[in-house]
Amino acid sequence: MRILVDADSCPRAARALVLRAAERTGIQAVFAANRPIPGIRGKTAVMEICPPGEGTADNRIVELARRGDLAVTRDIPLAARLVEAGAAVIDDRGREYTPDNIREKLSLRNISVEFALSGLGAERNAVYGRKELKAMSDSLDRVLSRLTRGKPGL
CATH code of residue 142 = 3.40.50
pLDDT in tens, the chain (154 residues): 999 999 998 999 999 999 999 999 999 999 999 999 999 999 999 999 999 999 999 999 999 999 999 999 999 999 999 999 999 999 999 999 999 998 888 878 667 777 777 777 666 667 889 999 999 999 999 999 999 987 554 4
Q: Starting at the earlier edge strand, list the strands of the sheet with 88-90.
A: 45-49, 28-33, 2-6, 70-72, 88-90, 96-97
Residue 57 lies in domain: 2-148
**With left for phi above 0 and alpha for psi between -120 and 50, is residue 29 left, alpha or beta?**
beta
Q: What domain count does the chain have?
A: 1
Cβ density class 60-69: b for 16+ within 10 Å, e for less? bbbebbeebb
Q: Is residue 153 part of a domain?
A: no
Q: Is residue 125 part of a domain?
A: yes
Q: What is the pLDDT of residue 129?
A: 93
Amino acid at 141: D
